[in-house]
């Protein structure tokens, strides 16, 4: 029986029919999706922290409103994704708990600090740029609510990347010191951005099943290569240098070759030992705990209004 | 979020179009659901009107019953205009 259901399920996916919340699905598909979608949601939410750090120090009102709008978008992205995970039966509180206790991961890139204003440029350009590669692929994911959330997210992301690139462009056309600041930022964010695509295909554990289920449609290495190919010409326009001596155009492949990623660093940050892991989780927990009274007050207010409505109805009757 | 019910959000993107399901969110009551829907789904002029419905008030057909449920419509070709054969000189009808 279950085998037959599984075959029908796979046949649907092979025929590009979307899976919707109430449809039958293998338990493992459900679990894998909850894990992937909630970790994606956590990444959006934790991703607000490095940028939030610079809102009060933005160099102009124009930069400030753009940054506020971007950070607000990321909060929205988190919400779309938590909602998508909830359609699979996950509880929001459980998901948040998993983030706060370290049971669930989020993108490791957000465990690096944003130490200069130029980092607001590099994050928009590179980090959002890398996220876009992944998210464009996910607009075609087999699970309907996830794919639809991705369509909304992708519409908003291009503003993020453009505002970041514009920040760097302005610095690169400024004084020598400003240009150096942009270069320093690229030096620090380049490699962690490449790591965002995850381990090399040969090392990637979940990939084959996720590909068959079409909750992933391109391999880590394919996406990483597409990102490098798109980004190198953009760095040239900025006039800053990507910190990789092995980076060069490969005529035969029609792609850029690039150097080996420091996987020891990658795994170290994944395991919790990056520069900001502890601080990020602390900040999220603090925000959640400090917001408890707001959540309680909203419930109390809603109850009071409900009672008043009932009372005035009773009077009329 | 356990005390905040889940709401389904429907947005009319412009006058003349019907409300369309945009997604869901948690809110303490209907007023907050509308405000949150504005902030979550309408930050870029996506809408001119919002409906919010508590998710628990929606009754859905069972996807497992989709075949028998929709089967009655499947063999009724005579409900479609192309079923009726008219000479070419009638033109568009
Ligand atoms: Fe985002
Ligand atoms: Fe973004």
Instruction: Report the percentage of chain A scoring pLDDT > 70.
Output: 100
| Interface confidence: ipTM more than 0.90 | no
pLDDT band at residue A234 under the 50/70/90 scheme: very high
At residue A204, the pLDDT reads: 82
B12 phi, psi to nearest 5 deg = -90, 120
- Alpha-carbon gap, residue A71 to A151, rounded angstroms: 18
Pairing mode, if any, of strands A255-257 and A248-250? antiparallel
Ligand 2 centroid from CA A77, angstroms: 8
* Interchain proximity A91–B1, CB inside 8 Å: yes
Six token digits for residue A202: 């040969």
pLDDT for residue B28 is more than 70: yes
Mean pLDDT (whole number) for A233-253: 98
Mean pLDDT (whole number) for B24-41: 95
May I ask the CATH class of domain B6-79? alpha beta
At residue B2, the pLDDT reads: 66
* Nearest residue, CB atoms, B28 vs list A20, A87, A298: A298
pLDDT for residue B56 is more than 90: yes
Task: Find, in chain B, the residue whose alpha carbon is nearest to that of A292.
Answer: B1
- CB B86 within 8 Å of CB B93: yes
* Interchain proximity A87–B24, CB inside 8 Å: yes
pLDDT band at residue A208 under the 50/70/90 scheme: confident
Which of B20, B28, B37, B41 is the best mutation test for A, with the most CBs of A within 10 A? B28
Most confident of A198-207, A308-317, B67-76, B82-91: B82-91
At residue B1, the pLDDT reads: 61
At residue A302, the pLDDT reads: 92
* Interchain proximity B1–A148, CB inside 8 Å: no
| A129 alpha carbon, closest ligand | 2
* Interchain proximity A299–B2, CB inside 8 Å: no
Mean pLDDT (whole number) for A82-92: 96
pLDDT for residue A47 is more than 70: yes
Assign 3-class secondary structure to chain B.
CCCCCEEEEEEECCCCCCCEEEEEEECCCHHHHHHHHHHHHCCCCCCCEEEEEEHHHCCCCCHHHHHHHHHHHCCCHHHCHHHCCCCHHHCCC
pLDDT in tens, A104-138: 999 999 999 999 999 999 999 999 999 999 999 99
At residue B64, the pLDDT reads: 86
pLDDT in tens, A148-194: 999 999 999 999 999 999 999 999 999 999 999 999 999 999 999 99
pTM: 0.93
* Nearest residue, CB atoms, A76 vs list B2, B32, B40: B40
* Interchain proximity A306–B26, CB inside 8 Å: no
At residue A296, the pLDDT reads: 93
Beta-bridge partners for B51 = B10
pLDDT band at residue A143 under the 50/70/90 scheme: very high
Ligand 2 centroid from CA A245, angstroms: 29
């Amino acid at each position: 029986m279950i085998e037959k259901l599984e075959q029908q399920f796979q046949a649907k996916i092979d025929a590009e029919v979307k899976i919707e919340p109430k449809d039958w699905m293998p338990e493992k598909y459900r679990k894998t999706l909850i894990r992937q979608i909630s970790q994606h949601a956590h990444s959006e939410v934790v991703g607000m922290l490095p940028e939030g750090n610079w809102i009060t120090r933005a160099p102009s009102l124009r930069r400030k409103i753009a940054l506020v709008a971007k950070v607000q978008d990321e909060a929205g992205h988190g919400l779309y994704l938590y909602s998508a995970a909830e359609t699979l039966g996950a509880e929001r509180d459980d998901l948040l708990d998993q983030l706060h206790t370290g049971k669930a991961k989020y993108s490791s890139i957000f465990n690096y600090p944003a130490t200069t204003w130029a980092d607001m440029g590099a994050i928009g350009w590179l980090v959002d740029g890398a996220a876009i590669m992944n998210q464009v692929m996910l607009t075609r994911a087999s699970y309907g609510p996830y794919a639809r959330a991705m369509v909304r997210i992708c519409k908003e992301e291009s503003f993020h990347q453009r505002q970041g690139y514009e920040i760097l462009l302005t610095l690169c056309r400024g004084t020598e010191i400003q240009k150096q600041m942009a270069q320093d930022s690229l030096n620090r964010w380049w490699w962690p951005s490449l790591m965002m695509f995850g381990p090399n295909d040969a090392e990637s554990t979940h990939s084959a099943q996720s590909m068959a289920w079409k909750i992933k449609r391109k391999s880590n290495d394919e996406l990483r290569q597409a990102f490098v190919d798109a980004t190198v010409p953009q760095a040239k326009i900025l006039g800053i240098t990507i910190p990789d001596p092995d980076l060069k155009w490969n005529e035969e492949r029609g792609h850029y070759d690039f150097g080996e990623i420091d996987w020891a660093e990658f795994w170290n940050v994944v395991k919790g030992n990056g520069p900001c892991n502890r601080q990020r989780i602390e900040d999220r927990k603090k925000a959640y705990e400090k917001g408890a009274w707001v959540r309680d007050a909203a419930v109390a207010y809603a109850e009071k209004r409900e009672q008043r409505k009932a009372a005035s109805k009773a009077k009329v009757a | 979020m356990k005390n905040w019910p889940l709401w389904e959000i429907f947005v009319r993107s412009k006058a003349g179009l019907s409300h369309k399901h945009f997604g869901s969110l948690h809110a303490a009551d209907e007023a907050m659901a509308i405000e949150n829907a504005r902030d979550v789904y309408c930050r870029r002029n996506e809408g001119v009107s919002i409906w919010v419905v508590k998710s628990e008030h929606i009754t859905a057909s069972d996807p497992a019953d989709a075949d028998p449920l929709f089967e009655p419509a499947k063999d009724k070709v005579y409900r479609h205009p192309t079923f009726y054969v008219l000479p070419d000189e009638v033109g568009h009808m």
